[in-house]
């Protein structure tokens, strides 16, 4: 019996030694968008468990930051605009604090209080006109990140003006992707990928041991790649006007609002940001849309370790100084 035990133990060890890492994928709708999660591991049970944990984490974050869910802390902040400060969890408090930091470095191009104007637009392709200018003026007056008041001692958030609102549409998916990766890594997944419908973070290597590389989609044909980005590890986040946009007078507007004017942006089809952090990449991709080509590239060129690719409405590719694109 003892010998048999030894043999079985040996068999287990040798089976483990020969097991090859395999990629396990899950596509799922979360935060109103399509997510794809990949875990690469020799143990399928662990890989599946880690994917489920990643999904659980994204759902948890959605409950915290959703401005549509009346019971979320974000909705409580919005309901109390101009009335009183609202005490929130540290996680939400810190996300708002980081959002305000991005507003600072982008000179207000990124502003979570853009949400005061959200209801004036649908961006589902059906609109044919811009909203009336008086309505835009009324709502844009409520957008100002400086009126989002944080109290670090009480952990409260206060929107100073009645009618103000905040929304995390331009940063939440990036944050969720970061967090899903963290949860999966903690469970022992050292190679994987989370794609939050274009906000992507990858770590470790691919199933076959090669570095991760990302295809940049042709804005006119999402199934076609126009270039490749060898990234190794980190985030590649693309904001595009392919799905959500508005056409008026033959002009195409993206679903990103310029907080200074209250009108959606024009001139850029897509912005891709490469950076170690998916949340920052997400926020910066949105910011570059608002800042436009020159100011956007100038900002990215100042930031160490962050690169950018812009596809203009004339299909011109503009990239930051150190972006390494491959066309083969
Ligand atoms: P995508 O939807 O392609 O991931 P973004 O990350 O740029 O694109 O997010 C767009 C969303 O960001 C909009 O749907 C809206 O919810 C929000 N948003 C729009 N304009 C701004 C802005 N100036 N600052 C912050 N958030 C914005
Ligand atoms: Mg974004």
Cβ atoms of 112 and 186 within 8 Å: the answer is: no
- Is the CA virtual torsion 241, 242, 244, 245 positive or negative? positive
Q: What angle do CA 106, 112, 117 make, to 5 degrees?
A: 115
Domain ranges across the chain: 72-159
Cβ atoms of 140 and 262 within 8 Å: the answer is: yes
Q: DSSP characters for 81-99?
A: TTT--EE--HHHHHHHHHH
Backbone angles phi, psi at 239, to 5 degrees: -105, 130
CATH number of 72-159: 1.10.3980.10
pLDDT tens over the chain, length 328 residues: 444 454 444 444 444 555 789 999 999 999 999 999 999 999 999 999 999 999 999 999 999 999 999 999 999 999 999 999 999 999 999 999 999 999 999 999 999 999 999 999 999 888 999 999 999 999 999 999 999 999 999 999 999 999 999 999 999 999 999 999 999 999 999 999 999 998 999 999 999 999 999 888 777 787 888 888 888 899 999 998 777 889 998 899 999 999 999 999 999 999 999 999 999 999 999 999 999 999 999 999 999 999 999 999 999 999 999 998 887 6
Half-sphere exposure (Cβ direction) of 170: Cα atoms closer than 13 Å:
32
Which residue, among 155, 323, 125, has the nearest Cα to 243 in the 3D structure? Answer: 125
Q: pTM of this prediction?
A: 0.93
Q: Whose CA is nearest to atom 14 of ligand 1?
A: 169
CB of 169 closer than 6 angstroms to any ligand 1 atom = yes
Identify which ligand lies nearest to the alpha carbon of 109: 1
| Sequence-ordered list of residues with C-beta below 8 angstroms from that of 66, at least 6 positions apart, any chain | 72, 74, 75
CB of 72 closer than 6 angstroms to any ligand 1 atom = no
């Amino acid at each position: 019996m003892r010998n048999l035990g030894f043999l079985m133990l040996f068999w287990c060890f040798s089976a483990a030694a020969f097991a090859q890492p395999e990629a396990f994928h899950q596509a799922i709708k979360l935060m109103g968008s399509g997510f794809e999660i990949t875990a690469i591991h020799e143990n399928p049970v662990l890989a599946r468990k880690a994917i489920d944990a990643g999904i659980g984490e994204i759902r948890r974050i959605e409950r915290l930051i959703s401005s549509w869910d009346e019971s979320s802390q974000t909705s409580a902040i919005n309901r109390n605009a101009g009335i009183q400060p609202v005490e929130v969890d540290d996680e939400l408090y810190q996300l708002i604090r980081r959002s305000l930091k991005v507003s600072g470095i982008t000179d207000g191009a990124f502003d979570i209080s853009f949400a005061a104007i959200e209801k004036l637009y649908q961006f589902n392709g059906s609109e044919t006109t811009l909203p009336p200018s008086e309505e835009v003026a009324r709502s844009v007056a409520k957008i100002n990140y400086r009126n989002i008041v944080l109290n670090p001692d009480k952990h409260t958030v206060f929107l100073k003006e009645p009618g103000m609102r905040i929304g995390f549409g331009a940063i939440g998916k990036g944050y969720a992707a970061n967090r899903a990766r963290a949860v999966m890594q903690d469970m022992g997944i050292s190679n994987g990928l989370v794609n939050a419908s274009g906000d992507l973070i990858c770590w470790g290597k691919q199933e076959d041991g090669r570095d991760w590389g990302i295809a940049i989609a042709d804005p006119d044909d999402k199934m076609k790649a126009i270039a490749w980005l060898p990234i190794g590890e980190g985030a590649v986040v693309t904001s595009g006007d392919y799905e959500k946009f508005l056409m008026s007078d033959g002009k195409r507007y993206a679903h990103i609002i310029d907080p200074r004017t209250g009108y959606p942006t024009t001139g850029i089809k897509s912005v891709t940001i490469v950076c170690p952090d998916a949340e920052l990449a997400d926020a910066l991709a949105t910011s570059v849309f608002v800042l436009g080509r020159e100011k956007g590239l100038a900002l990215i060129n100042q930031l160490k370790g962050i690169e950018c690719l812009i596809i203009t409405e004339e299909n011109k590719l503009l990239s930051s100084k150190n972006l390494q694109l491959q066309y083969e």
